[in-house]
Amino acid sequence: MGLRQILALFLVFLSLSAAQRPNIVFIVADDLGWNDVGFRNPDMKTPNIDKLATEGIIFENAYVQPLCSPSRTAFMSGMYPFHAGMQHMALKHGQNVCVPLNYTFLPQELKKLGYATHIIGKWHLGFCKWECTPTYRGFDTFFGYYNAAEDYFTHTAGGYLDFRDNQLPARNYSGEYSAFTFAQRAVDIIHRHDVSQPLFMYLPYQSVHAPIEVPKKYEDMYPNVMNEGRRKYSGMVSALDEAMGNVTQALKDRGLFENTLILFTADNGGHIQAYSNNWPLRGGKFTIWEGGTKGASFMYGAGLQKTRTRYDGMTHAVDWKPTLVSAAGGTPEPTIDGMNLWDSIRNGLPSPRTEFIYNIDYFEIPMEGHAGIRVGDYKLILGYPGELDGWFRPMNRTQDDIYEEPVYIKGDDPVQLFNIREDPTEHNDLAQKTPDMVAKLRARFEEYKKTMVPANYPNPDPASDPRKYGGVWSPGWC
């Protein structure tokens, strides 16, 4: 056999190897509550989500950070936010901050394996210079926005446009509801995709973060919900579900669905004050209670061996990067915080993860929760747990419910301890009864604390003013 034939066979082998890797679709639902999906709450109309979840693997102990930017840091870098200076709150418009550039992001790892990589939706990991933005951090294309809490129809944040098609402002989408705009871009990419190459699509939807906006026909799906905010919010969840259905149908139409692995997760617990619900868990977004850190999550599709089940093993947001790299046939980095859970999840085996950090934030005031650690069945909370406490059913009175914020006390006190296996709703504080367990977890926490990078959370920079960039939030000012 001649050299030319050998080379041709080698190229064919590489092509087949790439084609056999699973397509990966990583969907993030913003501020979705534990109790806001049909597979947990029959009042919610989410048929597409429910079908994927119940035919796949529903995660019962999939943990995230209590806020947007910290969780996304973990998803993309595989690092705890307290190791990246990203543990305090969510990034504000115009802050001179992004996830440190020395971290390799998930799409960069997948590109090494031959993947086409696309992000559609919310970034929220910093944009003060181009190097911080998606197409410089491993994504072939970007369609979405940099900040948070923008209008679903005008795509403005703080009164200025925040919508990009790769590096260019996207000005022609005013009036379109973002869930469907994002879904249509995903459909277009799927139909244009070269099927000889594996596809990675990161879909961090705007939905269902405030502002509470949705086309009326989705609100009208919930006539029995008396509270207007909760009714609209529920409609937002159903609109998200429909948008997800549009994407999965496109995968089927293109013949890609059977070789696609879908990971779905919330980025944090539901925002109770914005009509989300985490019943029966305690607390919500902006807290390190279980309701703020246990995400609605499931996995479906290619490579899973044990399906139509619920996975009780412990997972954390930092684990999705190495787990997806492994699912793609790659070798995860050994130096990150995340653990490769692929074989455990796909085969229904015990999780190798036995501990994680909820947060370590000494930047005043840690409104999202000061500090906490989980080791085995036990959870230790040190100091302020966050801005909301209690157990709340879905809002269904005409008037909005009023919530009291706990009093902030600086430092590591009070100390609270819970056995989450026996008491997942955190009703029984064991700190006074089991001081030895408190001491054990506190000692482990102190080891993690030694590795903490102080939070990088400056005031917004006047140089970011969108008026300097034609009324558009833009990189190039740091």
Catalytic residues: 68, 124
* CA distance to 86, 359, 365, 423, 460, per residue, from 453 (Å): 9, 12, 17, 32, 20
* CA distance to 10, 291, 296, 298, 387, per residue, from 66 (Å): 47, 9, 13, 18, 11
Give the CA dihedral 278, 281, 286, 287, nearest 10 degrees: 180
Residue pair 36/270 in contact by the 8 Å Cβ criterion: yes
Question: Which two tokens mark 426?
Answer: 């955190």
Residue pair 35/41 in contact by the 8 Å Cβ criterion: yes
DSSP H or E run through 62: strand 62-63
Residue pair 228/200 in contact by the 8 Å Cβ criterion: no
- What string of H, E and C letters represents the secondary structure of 207-264? CCCCCCCCCHHHHCCCCCCCCHHHHHHHHHHHHHHHHHHHHHHHHHHCCCHHHEEEEE
Upstream peptide bond of 37 is cis (omega within 30 degrees of 0): no
* CA distance to 41, 220, 226, per residue, from 232 (Å): 17, 8, 10
Residue pair 200/115 in contact by the 8 Å Cβ criterion: yes
23-29 and 260-266 as β-strands: parallel, antiparallel, unpaired?
parallel
Residue pair 176/206 in contact by the 8 Å Cβ criterion: no
Angle at 444 between CA 440 and CA 446, to 5 degrees: 115
φ and ψ at 140, to 5 degrees?
Answer: -70, -35
Question: Which two tokens mark 388?
Answer: 């909301």
φ and ψ at 54, to 5 degrees?
Answer: -75, -25
116-122 and 199-204 as β-strands: parallel, antiparallel, unpaired?
parallel
Residue 215, phi-psi category: left (phi > 0), alpha (psi -120 to 50), beta (remainder): beta
Q: What span, in angstroms and rounded, lies between the C-alpha atoms of 335 and 321?
A: 12
In a 13 Å sphere around the CA of 16, the CA atoms on its Cβ side amount to 6
Residue in the block written with tokens 């009208």: 220
